A and B are shown apart, each in its own frame.
Chain A
Amino acid sequence: MRLVAVVLLAVALAGPAVASESKPTSAEVESEVVCPVCDTTLDTSDSPAARRLKVYIRARIAAGDTKSEIKAKLVDQFGPTILAVPPRKGFDLVAWLLPLAGLAVGVAAVGALAWRWSRGKGDEPPSGRTPGPLDPALERRLDDELARFE
């Protein structure tokens, strides 16, 4: 039963993704492409260059190009920096892996510190020194003081 639900969910999610790839909307592509002269995504730019690229994208969609094909044509002309999100291959993969590596290092560092802190708390005295036996005179005085409260 659970397996069927998972399969149905996967199919439900895959449908829009496939449609987005084969029949993208101009708004989708414009949000994933950077205006080459203003360094913001096309959907947030109204510069002449951005307006021209929007026309180009709409023409490619009308011609039946998939989202990947449109992006490939743009990269061919403007280079990979035209894409708002770097591709997951080659050197650009670093942009994806570096944050994950940073997160892993952070989690490991916090975990190590927490482990050291929790281990040290039970074993070590606050001063960091092992307490020795009390001086006999001081112990006698302490007993006398405590006896007064009994």
Chain B
Amino acid sequence: MSGRLRIGAQAASVALVAALLGLLIWKIAQGESEVTSELRSGGTPAAPAFRLERLNGEGELALDSLRGRTIVINFWASYCGPCKEETPLLQQASKRWQGKGVVFLGVDVQDVRGDARSFLARYGVTYPNVYDGKGSTVGRYGVTGYPETYFVDAAGKVRYRIAGAVQDAAEIDDGIKRALAPA
């Protein structure tokens, strides 16, 4: 093999290894979302924007359209057991906080659309819910399992997060009060 050919092959090999290494680092970095890492360090990260199809209503709903209000974002799926237990609590809380500048928003993730609609009907959910079958919000919010609830303040910053099912009304109210508190 001539020297030039050998150097070319070596350069190509090094470039390939570097590209694979870069891909690995990128993949690892994707695993930890900025939202969860900032929350953990006491920060208030911006809630990642999304625009998704409504499940109980027509058209799409953009998170930005709710700016100026405190938003309780609940990530759920119809096949998730704890979601069934906490949904009545969320529905009751949404009624309790109605007209007080607080909006509840459900995000059904990686679920069968028909199942999600049946779930909402079964539990009498009236607050807006959107459908994220592809799970596009999961990585950006750092959702590690269902359900998870994020409390976003009027400026669009995530102030608090509950991983797992909310246990009672007081826990929801506590999250809302944190989001309502001055930054």
- Chain A residues close to B by CB (< 8 Å): 36-37, 48-49, 51-53, 56, 77-79, 81, 113, 116
A77 near B112 with CB under 8 A, answer yes
Tell me, in angstroms, the Cα distance from A78 to B135 when the chains sit together: 8
With contact pairs A49-B110, A52-B115, A56-B112 given, residues A78 and B79 touching in the complex (Cβ less than 8 Å): no
Please name all residues of chain A whose beta carbon is closer than 8 Å to the beta carbon of B113 when the two chains form the complex: 77
A120 to chain B, nearest CB (A): 10
- Chain B residues close to A by CB (< 8 Å): 1, 77-81, 110-113, 115, 133-135
B48 to chain A, nearest CB (A): 18
With contact pairs A77-B113, A78-B110 given, residues A49 and B77 touching in the complex (Cβ less than 8 Å): yes
A53 to chain B, nearest CB (A): 7
B133 near A48 with CB under 8 A, answer no
With A36-B135, A113-B1, A116-B1 already in contact, 11 other A-B pairs whose C-beta atoms are closer than 8 Å: A36-B110, A48-B79, A49-B77, A49-B110, A52-B79, A53-B112, A78-B110, A78-B133, A78-B134, A78-B135, A79-B134
Please name all residues of chain B whose beta carbon is closer than 8 Å to the beta carbon of A113 when the two chains form the complex: 1
Question: Majority SS of interface residues in chain A?
Answer: helix
Tell me, in angstroms, the Cα distance from A36 to B79 when the chains sit together: 12
Please name all residues of chain A whose beta carbon is closer than 8 Å to the beta carbon of B1 when the two chains form the complex: 113, 116
B83 to chain A, nearest CB (A): 10
Tell me, in angstroms, the Cα distance from A36 to B138 when the chains sit together: 12
A41 to chain B, nearest CB (A): 15
Tell me, in angstroms, the Cα distance from A78 to B113 when the chains sit together: 9
B141 to chain A, nearest CB (A): 15
Please name all residues of chain B whose beta carbon is closer than 8 Å to the beta carbon of A49 when the two chains form the complex: 77, 79, 110-111
Please name all residues of chain A whose beta carbon is closer than 8 Å to the beta carbon of B81 when the two chains form the complex: 48
Q: Give B115's nearest chain A residue, CB to CB.
A: A52
Please name all residues of chain B whose beta carbon is closer than 8 Å to the beta carbon of A53 when the two chains form the complex: 112
Q: Give B112's nearest chain A residue, CB to CB.
A: A56
In the complex, which of the residues B112, B133, B135 contacts A52, with contact meaning CB atoms closer than 8 Å?
B112
With contact pairs A52-B115, A113-B1 given, residues A77 and B133 touching in the complex (Cβ less than 8 Å): yes
Please name all residues of chain A whose beta carbon is closer than 8 Å to the beta carbon of B77 when the two chains form the complex: 49
Tell me, in angstroms, the Cα distance from A56 to B77 when the chains sit together: 15
Cross-chain pairs A/B with CB under 8 angstroms, 12 sampled: A48-B80, A48-B81, A49-B110, A51-B79, A52-B112, A52-B115, A77-B113, A77-B133, A78-B135, A79-B134, A79-B135, A113-B1
